[in-house]
């Protein structure tokens, strides 16, 4: 049997070893209150009208200063448009179905998920130059609070969708919504983080008045640095390490009594954030709080209106039996099998380092730790 420290040593060796295994993915479907909209994939020869701005590759964006941190890899961000705009009500639930490049389930399990919005102005988003966008944060989620405190991202590996609640009091208008996964499996070294941003065009109705302040808005690139504690994170594989979200705090108008902040209190599959006031950039917790306060940035899965951020299981379909996978449980004790991503599993095997380790289809070490 292999000890926990031995497996962690293999992971660390993997991090320091050049890899030919590409970690990649894309948002394949966007849903609004249960209605699904298929999106174009990179390389589509004849793209159809869709709301998510098309990217040129499923490869990750590397480097916080990379221009592609805006809306994903593209030849020209000034003209990275989409032909469709989705109608969204205040308080609506949007779901992002992230997939691997071959349309398998998302391949990574380590790192936060964050959601930003930016106004496109009165002219709509179809021809809006995203390089002019000023972004405000409405949601963020990191680790789960229960069990082995795995990153909430892990549930995407078994078919969950990342769901975000649009602020109920947001002002009507045309917006880009930027959902982002930051994969941290290589982030124990500076520059190792992988960014997967995706921008979708929406039009919000209603008569709300909520807007961000100037100090709550950021630009991409520019919002992050490779030295930010949430981007360069030596504690990536330590479930007890406090995680500090990158970027600004969640906009104050989004939060409400009982909302979460930006401090590390990680989230479960269905996340409710709690208030953590110490660090302006740490992640919120999955336990609902009755106290009021503004958002901070340390690890406790933070979210927006009513602090609702969810990882939702996709409904089964006749053409996709894989969606029938049930949610994996999180054993609370140290006998729980260690979970690593399929990318790591494959690379360990390529390096001949998988001797004595048995992995199932979801990248779990099926031998117990001692």
Q: Per-residue pLDDT for the chain (370 aa), expressed as one digit of tens each?
A: 444 434 444 444 344 333 333 448 999 999 999 999 999 999 888 999 999 999 999 999 999 999 999 999 998 999 999 999 999 999 999 999 999 999 999 999 999 999 999 999 999 999 999 999 999 999 999 999 888 899 999 999 999 999 999 999 999 999 999 999 999 999 999 999 999 999 999 999 999 999 999 999 999 999 999 999 999 999 999 999 999 999 999 999 997 543 344 444 443 333 323 222 233 344 333 222 223 333 458 775 454 433 344 555 555 443 443 333 233 333 333 333 444 555 555 544 554 554 444 444 444 444 444 4
Evaluate the CA torsion angle 231, 243, 364, 12 in order and state its sign.
positive
Are 289 and 260 in contact, with CB atoms under 8 Å apart?
A: yes
Q: Is residue 336 part of a domain?
A: no
Domains held by the chain: number: 1
Q: Is residue 18 part of a domain?
A: no
Q: Which residue has the tokens 């909520």?
A: 210
Q: Is residue 231 part of a domain?
A: yes
Q: Is residue 369 part of a domain?
A: no
Give the model's pLDDT for residue 287: 27
- pLDDT tens-digit map of 262-283: 444 443 333 323 222 233 344 3
Are 362 and 340 in contact, with CB atoms under 8 Å apart?
A: no
Per-residue CA distances from 181 to 25, 106, 153, 225, 349 (Å): 10, 11, 8, 16, 26
| Residue of 221, 211, 327 whose CA lies nearest to 268 | 327
Evaluate the CA torsion angle 150, 153, 157, 162 in order and state its sign.
positive
Give the model's pLDDT for residue 127: 96
Prior bond of 221 cis (ω within 30°): yes
Q: Is residue 347 part of a domain?
A: no
Alpha carbons 128 and 85: distance in angstroms, whole number: 12
Give the model's pLDDT for residue 296: 58
Q: Is residue 350 part of a domain?
A: no
Give the model's pLDDT for residue 292: 32
Q: What is the pTM of this model?
A: 0.73
Give the model's pLDDT for residue 146: 84
User: What range defines the domain where residue 310 resides?
Assistant: 24-330
CB neighbour burial string for 185-212, b if at least 16 within 10 angstroms, e if fewer: bbbbeeebbbbbbbbbbbbbebebebeb
Alpha carbons 270 and 30: distance in angstroms, whole number: 19
Residue 218: CATH number of its domain: 2.70.50.70
Q: Is residue 225 part of a domain?
A: yes
Give the model's pLDDT for residue 333: 39
Name 40's bridge partners.
none
């Amino acid at each position: 049997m292999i000890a926990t420290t031995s497996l962690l040593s293999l992971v660390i060796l993997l991090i320091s070893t050049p890899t030919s295994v590409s970690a990649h993915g894309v948002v394949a479907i966007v849903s609004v209150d249960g209605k699904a909209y298929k999106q174009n994939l990179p390389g589509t020869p004849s793209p159809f009208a869709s709301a998510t701005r098309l990217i040129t590759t499923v490869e990750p964006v590397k480097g916080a200063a990379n221009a592609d941190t805006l809306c994903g890899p593209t030849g020209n961000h000034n003209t990275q448009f989409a032909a469709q705009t989705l109608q969204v009500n205040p308080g609506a639930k949007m779901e992002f179905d992230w997939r691997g490049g071959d349309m398998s389930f998302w391949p990574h399990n380590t790192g936060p998920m964050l959601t930003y919005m930016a106004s496109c102005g009165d002219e709509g988003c179809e021809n809006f130059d995203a390089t002019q966008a000023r972004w405000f944060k409405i949601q963020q989620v990191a680790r789960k609070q229960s069990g082995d405190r795995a990153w909430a991202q892990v549930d995407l590996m078994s078919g969950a969708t990342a769901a975000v609640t649009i602020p109920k009091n947001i002002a009507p208008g045309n917006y880009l919504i930027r959902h982002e996964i930051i994969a941290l499996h290589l982030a124990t070294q500076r520059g190792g983080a992988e960014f997967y941003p995706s921008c979708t065009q929406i039009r919000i109705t209603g008569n709300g008045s909520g807007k961000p302040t100037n100090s709550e808005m950021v630009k991409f690139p520019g919002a992050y640095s490779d030295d930010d504690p949430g981007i360069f994170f030596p504690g990536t594989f330590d479930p007890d390490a406090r995680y500090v979200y990158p970027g600004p705090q969640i906009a104050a108008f989004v939060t409400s009594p009982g909302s979460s902040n930006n401090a590390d209190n990680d989230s479960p599959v269905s996340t409710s954030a709690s208030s953590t006031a110490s660090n302006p950039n740490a992640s919120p917790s999955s336990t609902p709080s009755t106290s009021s306060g503004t958002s901070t940035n340390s690890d406790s899965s933070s979210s927006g209106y009513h602090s609702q951020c969810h990882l939702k299981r996709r409904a089964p379909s006749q053409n996709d039996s894989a969606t029938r996978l049930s949610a994996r449980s999180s054993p609370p004790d140290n006998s729980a099998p260690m979970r690593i991503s399929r990318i790591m599993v494959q690379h360990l095997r390529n390096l001949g380092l998988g001797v004595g380790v048995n992995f199932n289809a979801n990248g779990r070490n099926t031998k117990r730790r001692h």
